[in-house]
Amino acid sequence: MNKGWKDIKEGDRVWLSVAFVDMVGSTNLYKEVGENEAKRRKELFRAIAERVFGKFGTRTEWHGEGAPFFFTKEDDVVKASIDFIAEIRVRGIRDIEAEIVTRISIASGLTEFKEELGKMDAHFISLGGHINSAAPENSILITEDVYDALPEELKNKFGLCGTTRRDNVTTFIYSKEKRSRKNPGKFLPDEEETAFGYRKYLDGVKKLYEKLAFFGVRQMSRIPLLDLTKVFFPLKVRKKETKFRIAEKWDKGPTLLRMEEGIESYSESVPHPFPDVFKKEKHLIVLGDPGSGKTTLLKWLSLIYCQGIRSSLKKDLTEERLLPLLIPISALFEKKENRLLPDAVSESLKEFSLEFSASLIKKKMEEGKCLILLDGLDEISKKTDRFEMARYIERAINAFPKNRFVITSRIIGYEEIQLPGGATYTISGLEKEEIGLFARRWFTEFESSLKGEAPSVLKRASEAADELVGSIETSPIFDLAKNPFLLTLICLVYVAGQRLPRSRVRLYLLCCETLFETWTYVRSLRGKKTAEPIEYEEGERILAPLALWMHEESPGGLAEEEGLKEKLIEIMMKERDISQKEARGFAKEFFDYLGQTTQLLIHRGAKRWGFMHRTFEEFLAAVALYKEDRYFEYLKDKSYDSNWREVFLLLCGYINLYGKKSEIPLIIEELTSRKDDLESILHKNLLLTGEMVADLGLKDRLADQIIDEVISLALRSEYSTLRKEATEVLKKGRDLSVGRLSEILVDKEEVAGVRQEAALALGKIGEKESIPVLTSVLEDKEEDGNVRQGAALALVKLDQVESIPVLTSILKDKKEDKWARQGAAWVLGEIGGEEATSVLTSILKDKGENKYVRQGAALVLGKIGQVESIPVLTSIIKDKKEDKWARQEAAKALGKMGKADEEVVSILREIADQREEDLYIPARFSVTKLGLQIKGVKEPIIKELKNPSLDPYKKNFLFAALRWLSF
């Protein structure tokens, strides 16, 4: 094989390009010029083709005077084609005094590689042959997949040609002027052509998102523009899962995890790379803290799918061409009234100067060819509005289920959305190694954007990244660096030559200063001409009240330009004690400075403006509350409003650094003094003060008291949601909580259920120092089974694959406590793999095994999803003498696998249709999840739910099934 082919083996799935090179008129050429002359011209054509295309490509047999040449890279095949057209014309005239006419078509795609190239039968190969006849003479006609994979200098040589009638494929042509010579009969007429609008939209998306501009680096002579697809760091996410309890009886007996209302609890899996999750799930909800990368993730997805199938495959995403539609949910909320999704999306896009007709969007959605990216559910401030928007999104997914949906939200402020065929995930913080990789990628792109990609530049970028990571890994700022946005700010501050701060409040302040004091401005706020930029302190007196106003009046983060300018005038009049006329002039200049120079405020389209990142709005709003001495007023009024939680946390951080520290205890006491019924149930103020203590790193008597109360909530609350929220607070205050939780875990005088929750909390907090105490509890055979089970589940959260031998030993030992064994089964299910499947399958096959251990094994096998376990699960379902719980879990497990095996479906359908007691609901649920339909699926469930004497467990399970089936 030629260069570029040596690593490809028979059977490999590879991306190839194929060029069909045809000599026009060769069939009847002998009639025009005679046999000998025709032979001479054909030989010259072949010789030049063999030499030019054979440099990097390889061909199959010639058919007449045409042959397909295969390449591994699009730019190689396109360059060869351009060279061939130029040379064949010159050589024809020079060597044989005649013009040799050719046409070339090129297509790309995935195929199973065969050494005998002619036996490859992928669709793109046929497509390349089909479009050859549509190519004008001496032109190159290429498919979208080829065009998208080309570097810009080659793309610029091609023009959009149109959509072919035969295959409905979008094509591009070289050279551009050849488009006027295309055969109209081969392409769609203009009135049916949509490719031009489609490509214009994609170009608009690229222009909007492909570059990240970093303002505020005063040492640089020009603004660095970073390529988002290069600087973006792949995120990891954890799945939010519902775990159903397995108990001897409804009202008593040990449980796998305590369940809210006795039914379910949520947990998060080990981290998975986002591309793996994206390929697995049809629809996704992605939750994350401020700055965790939610919006950037959607921009990255949008860009990748704008760049074609090869681009998505290179990023380990899906093999499909999707139309990316990225819309802020706050914008969609305003446009949705009396509109279906396609119309609302089309209207929302106009705010970003993007045009795409509602009819074409609807057509694409009906075909299932859209990637619908909805950003920021939490940015709708009113809970009732968020609820309404969540239901709108559910209806939209139900109306267009063949498309892919990705919805993002902050964790606080998320309104649950039911996703048929999807799941909810939470973004994980960056680990130490990932922080280093992130920094190297960022510095490499930053330096090369300014100075090129010379080896010395890349070397300096790597050194700078290592220096930064080395300076922060033992610093309090290291925890901040786990957040992608904050790490980006840290990098920006570092290259600006500033000393790295130890707190995020100081970091935000530094970044605001850096972004604000950039280039010179012609007039200060006092109207005097100057060569100096506006001082940040001077600008902050205007920005802070402006941010507070925006946060209160425009919770979605976007303000109308006119309203924004009027507010600036009002602030100027108050701040400077000047007339409205004077203030109007200064406000215009300040507004221009903000938008054109600092980029703290960014134009978001349709005369709307918002802060560069919501975090800056929240930080400056907190500054305003402090400077205006209004924070007690706002704390009393808005402590239960999730939209203000981050503002209050930043407020305390600001006071701790720049105000009177004695105010902090007063704030905490003000919040904890609320003793009404609502607080006694929801504990929102307690959780907020816990976060304040964790954020500030307080270590006094009041802090100890708050953390102790949060720990009690995390371990003893009867509500799983509340336990989870409290554990998240403890995770942020790990320095204060890990030691206390470890003490509770090993205290055998404490209630076993509380100790189990302490183990689970340690796992969720994720501190490595917890591993020894958790391991010792797990290995202690005299220890309570539930506590050991909790320790096992905690260890998997800590990615302790080293625990596999211990877990396997516990699971295999029938003398071990049944609940410890069940916990071991769960952990092995999280870890997965052949060894786990083998052990769990053997447990399930053994009818002499403890029934609870078998139930756990069945449930976990469904989670792992290995087809090897299908036979044993099927045999359990068939055997009516089997334990009913094991049969139920087996039925649910098959549904989770998503394997539509004919025998499996037949069994599940039969059970569901016969309505066998205790089995037909999970069977019906499973068949539906496999994408099949059973007539009358909801009616019997509704009928049973009306039964007042129905068992509470079954009633809740039926309700969950009905809710799932209804979306």
State what percent of residues in the chain have pLDDT above 70: 80
Residue 313 pLDDT > 90: yes
Helix (H) or strand (E) holding 148: helix 144-148
Q: Which two tokens stand for residue 192?
A: 């049916």
* CA 123-129-134 angle, 5° bins: 125
Residue 265 pLDDT > 50: no
* CA 606-607-610 angle, 5° bins: 105
Residue 626 pLDDT > 70: yes
Dihedral of alpha carbons 829, 831, 832, 834, sign: negative
Rounded Cα gap, residues 343 and 375, in angstroms: 18
The confidence score (pLDDT) of residue 404 equals 95
| Amino acid code (one letter) for 856 | G
Fold of 13-193: Alpha-Beta Plaits (3.30.70)
Residue 894 in contact with residue 926, Cβ under 8 Å? yes
Q: Which two tokens stand for residue 943?
A: 């009928």
The C-alpha torsion from 558 through 564 and 567 to 571, rounded to 10°, is 90
Rounded Cα gap, residues 266 and 240, in angstroms: 6
Residue 950 pLDDT > 50: yes
pTM: 0.69
Residue 147 in contact with residue 174, Cβ under 8 Å? no
The C-alpha torsion from 198 through 202 and 205 to 210, rounded to 10°, is 180
The confidence score (pLDDT) of residue 836 equals 65
Helices (H), 368-431: 383-399
Rounded Cα gap, residues 116 and 795, in angstroms: 51
Q: Which residues contact 890 (CB under 8 A, 6 or more apart)?
A: 858, 873, 874, 876, 877
Residue 73 in contact with residue 120, Cβ under 8 Å? no
State what percent of residues in the chain have pLDDT above 90: 36
Residue 137 pLDDT > 90: yes
Rounded Cα gap, residues 345 and 356, in angstroms: 9
- What residues does 236 pair with on adjacent strands? 273
Q: Beta-strand (E) ranges in 10-115?
A: 13-23, 58-59, 66-71, 102-112
Nearest to 726 by CA among 750, 694, 696: 694
Pairing state of beta strands 283-288 and 422-427?
Answer: parallel
Least confident of 299-303, 789-793, 812-816: 812-816
Q: How does residue 400 score in pLDDT terms, banded at 50, 70 and 90? A: very high
The confidence score (pLDDT) of residue 250 equals 31
Q: Which two tokens stand for residue 361?
A: 């969007």
Pairing state of beta strands 283-288 and 404-410?
Answer: parallel
Q: Which two tokens stand for residue 754?
A: 């509380």
Q: Beta-strand (E) ranges in 332-379?
A: 370-375
- Most confident range, picked from 298-312, 335-349, 371-385, 564-578: 298-312
Q: Look-up: residue for tokens 């799918």?
A: 305
- Most confident range, picked from 18-32, 162-176, 448-462: 162-176
- Secondary structure letter of residue 533 according to DSSP: P
The confidence score (pLDDT) of residue 366 equals 95
Q: Which of left, alpha, beta for 13 (phi over 0: left; psi -120 to 50: alpha)?
A: beta
Q: Write out pLDDT tens, residues 175-200.
A: 999 999 999 999 999 889 999 999 99
Q: How does residue 908 score in pLDDT terms, banded at 50, 70 and 90? A: low
What DSSP string describes 716-738? H-S-HHHHHHHHHHHHHTHHHHH
- Secondary structure letter of residue 167 according to DSSP: T
Q: How does residue 832 score in pLDDT terms, banded at 50, 70 and 90? A: low
Residue 744 pLDDT > 90: yes
**What mean pLDDT comes out for the span 861-881?**
66
- Most confident range, picked from 286-295, 398-407, 612-621: 398-407
Q: Which two tokens stand for residue 657?
A: 């650094």
- Between 263 and 533, the higher pLDDT residue: 533
Cis status, amide bond into 175, omega within 30 of 0: yes
Rounded Cα gap, residues 899 and 470, in angstroms: 48
- Secondary structure letter of residue 63 according to DSSP: B
**What mean pLDDT comes out for the span 126-152?**
95
**What mean pLDDT comes out for the span 879-903?**
64
The confidence score (pLDDT) of residue 532 equals 44
The confidence score (pLDDT) of residue 884 equals 66
Residue 627 pLDDT > 50: yes
The confidence score (pLDDT) of residue 257 equals 37
The confidence score (pLDDT) of residue 243 equals 47
Residue 779 pLDDT > 60: yes
Q: How does residue 687 score in pLDDT terms, banded at 50, 70 and 90? A: very high
The C-alpha torsion from 360 through 363 and 367 to 368, rounded to 10°, is 60
Residue positions counted in the chain: 967
| CATH among 3.30.750, 3.40.50, 1.10.287, 2.160.20 for 225-425 | 3.40.50
Residue 304 in contact with residue 229, Cβ under 8 Å? yes
Half-sphere exposure of 448 (CA within 13 A, CB side): 17
* CA 256-257-261 angle, 5° bins: 125
The confidence score (pLDDT) of residue 142 equals 97
Rounded Cα gap, residues 693 and 702, in angstroms: 9
Q: Look-up: residue for tokens 């209004």?
A: 630
**CB atoms near residue 674 (< 10 Å):** 15
The confidence score (pLDDT) of residue 529 equals 37
Average pLDDT, the chain: 81
Q: Write out pLDDT tens, residues 749-777.
A: 899 889 999 998 998 888 888 888 988 88
The confidence score (pLDDT) of residue 926 equals 58
**What mean pLDDT comes out for the span 911-915?**
59
The confidence score (pLDDT) of residue 912 equals 58
The confidence score (pLDDT) of residue 513 equals 80
Residue 709 in contact with residue 730, Cβ under 8 Å? no
Q: How does residue 869 score in pLDDT terms, banded at 50, 70 and 90? A: low
Rounded Cα gap, residues 916 and 884, in angstroms: 11
The confidence score (pLDDT) of residue 339 equals 85
**What mean pLDDT comes out for the span 62-87?**
91
**What mean pLDDT comes out for the span 552-560?**
83
Rounded Cα gap, residues 284 and 265, in angstroms: 20
Specify burial of residue 270 (Cβ count, 10 A radius: 0-12, 13-18, 19+): middle
The confidence score (pLDDT) of residue 109 equals 95
Q: How does residue 260 score in pLDDT terms, banded at 50, 70 and 90? A: very low
Say whether 354 sits in a helix, a strand or coil: coil
- Between 215 and 349, the higher pLDDT residue: 349
Q: Which residues contact 537 (CB under 8 A, 6 or more apart)?
A: none
Cα 277 to Cα 237, 286, 424, distances in angstroms: 8, 11, 10
Q: Write out pLDDT tens, residues 436-449.
A: 899 998 988 888 87
Residue 790 in contact with residue 756, Cβ under 8 Å? yes
The confidence score (pLDDT) of residue 481 equals 85
- What residues does 425 pair with on adjacent strands? 239, 286
Residue 31 pLDDT > 90: no
- Between 704 and 536, the higher pLDDT residue: 704
Rounded Cα gap, residues 700 and 685, in angstroms: 19
Cα 742 to Cα 255, 715, 761, 802, 917, distances in angstroms: 22, 13, 10, 21, 45
Residue 553 in contact with residue 559, Cβ under 8 Å? yes
Residue 220 pLDDT > 70: no
